[in-house]
Chains A and B, each alone.
Chain A
Amino acid sequence: MTKPRDPEALLAAYLEGGMEVLPDRVVDYVLDEVHRTRQRAVFGPWRTRSMFRSAFKAAAVVAALALGSAFFVVQRGQPAVVGPSPSAAASSDASRPAVVSPSATHRATPTPTPILWTEASLKEDWPAPVRPEPVGGAIVLPVRGELGTFVLADPADDNGSSVLPWVDIRVVHTGSPFKVVIELADNHPPLVDPTEQWIAYGVVVDADRDGVPDVRYGIDNLPAFETDVGRPWRRHRGWRTDLHTGQTEAIASEPYDLVGDTGLDTFYPPGAYGPDGARLGFGGDVAGGGTSTSLDGPFYTWAAVIENGRVVATDYAPDVGWLDPWAKAKP
């Protein structure tokens, strides 16, 4: 005999079952952690976005001048570096990382670029080459996909190395200002020690829409904690670099955490785990009534691999210009 089956009633009944009391051990753990954890300092919750934008604009002018100076210096034979270490970040030459890729076409150079890299770099450097970007770079409008997503296809095999397809960006898509997904020619980067192959993905944002990179987010295959060493499918390091000051903040705890005032949710599946590619989630969800920001400016994505201290493959999407789904997206 078949009885009537109302899926919603069955579902509600199904969801009635489950834990209802938080175990004491969890409460004890939380209170112990709370005792050891400082609360986040709030210096100005009254600050408005426009105030941030004004500050960004002022910083952008300074950065543009610095960028020009650095470019001039590099033209004279200064070696390029891959990313700012915290110590370098504090220096006034904050624009140097912007010259890693010498390619005028903004594509990875098949010829490896020397970088300043040591074992210590694994703790203090950020493997993120920044695409040289002319001030006032063009806006790229993505195609609107299903369910309100935005999709940008990137040319295949444009990363300078077809043997590293996990650096070859195939598609970038985003459904909201809170998430960017980078799909790769091979979404399964190898389970490899970062000293052998240092793999990183990220997003560079032009927060004030002036064509000058402002913020760079990244994730790489460094374990987030010592307990994650040897278990690379666990937590990855994530970070945010202010490209005007060179200051870098790294996620200090879980895959979802705050860097500065931005929630950053990093994920990519190494080896055979998962089909998603690299994903960077941003902002607002965690803050609710708080102060977090979302990804609301034009951006481009990047992927890079370093071997033996050299950038052996880099890809950008878009290769030229800024992706801006929130400008005037095509219907």
Chain B
Amino acid sequence: MLRTLVDRARQGDEEAFGALVGEVGDRCIFIAHRILRDANLAEDAVQVALVQVWRELPTLRDPDRFEAWLHRILVNACYAEARRRRQFAADVVLLETDAPADTDELLTVHDRDQLDRGFRRLPPEQRAVLVFHHALGLTVPEVADHLGIPLGTAKSRLSYATAAIRAALEADARTPTLDQEQLA
């Protein structure tokens, strides 16, 4: 069905593209929000990406590669939004209103705060690898394919990102009362 929609949308069928957005839109916002950790930025990135997908669809040679192609465009849009956020960061204090509620007993509020802090420190390219690997469950070669990067790059980004997250958690474990000590 997806293939049929892609074929029709490539021919300029707006209705088919609307149906295609219905098929892939939720997946797009799932990815974008996890990379950017901000609802507004994620929505902007998805908007930009989907319009670009429409514009560029005729250049897609192999419709069976649509999903990977879409993901590349989407993550590039996320990178652009992340840069924009960084550029605004000096002026704007972003409120942490988009933090997801704890959904798993495994994750305490404290864990989530630490992970959130560590994750937001990562460059968006490394975040994307983590999201595709851990949240979408793709293998590392699949991650490389979907992000359009060499396998070695995907491995190194995953390695760096995982190490950074681990370091953030371990640093917190070593200094659990740092804030209190600072206040004292």
Residue among B37, B54, B73, B162 making CB contact with A8, cutoff 8 Å: B162
A19 touches B30 (CB 8 A): yes
CB proximity to A under 8 Å, residues B89-142: 89-90, 99-104, 106-107, 111-112, 115-116, 119, 130-131, 134-135
B25:A274 contact, CB within 8 angstroms? no
Measured between alpha carbons, how far is A190 from B119 in the docked complex, in Å? 31
Chain A residues, CB < 8 A from B22: 27
The B56-71 residues at the A interface (CB cut-off 8 A) are: 56-62, 65, 68-69
Please provide the chain A residues from 232 to 271 with a CB less than 8 Å away from any CB of chain B in the complex: 233-234, 254-258, 263, 265, 267, 269
A6-64 interface with B by 8 A CB criterion:
7-23, 26-27, 29-31, 33-35, 37-42, 45
Q: Are B48 and A254 in contact (CB under 8 A)?
A: yes
Q: Are B130 and A15 in contact (CB under 8 A)?
A: yes
B3 contacts chain A at the CB level, 8 A cutoff:
no
Interface residues on B, range: 35 or more
Q: Is B50 an interface residue (CB 8 A)?
A: yes
A21–B33 alpha-carbon span in the complex (Å):
10
Hey, what's the 0/1 contact readout for B16-50 against A, CB within 8 Å counting as 1?
01100110011011100110010100110011101
With A286-B73, A288-B68 known as contacts, the answer to whether A11 contacts B134 (CB < 8 A) is yes
CB distance from B122 to the nearest CB of A (A): 11
Per-residue contact bits, chain A 66-95, to B (CB 8 Å; 1 contact, 0 not): 000000000000000000000000000000
Whole-angstrom CA separation of A37 from B52 in the bound complex: 9
Provide the bound-state CA to CA distance between A325 and B125, in Å: 23
- A residues touching B (Cβ–Cβ < 8 Å)? 2, 5, 7-23, 26-27, 29-31, 33-35, 37-42, 45, 147-148, 176, 233-234, 254-258, 263, 265, 267, 269, 272-274, 284-292
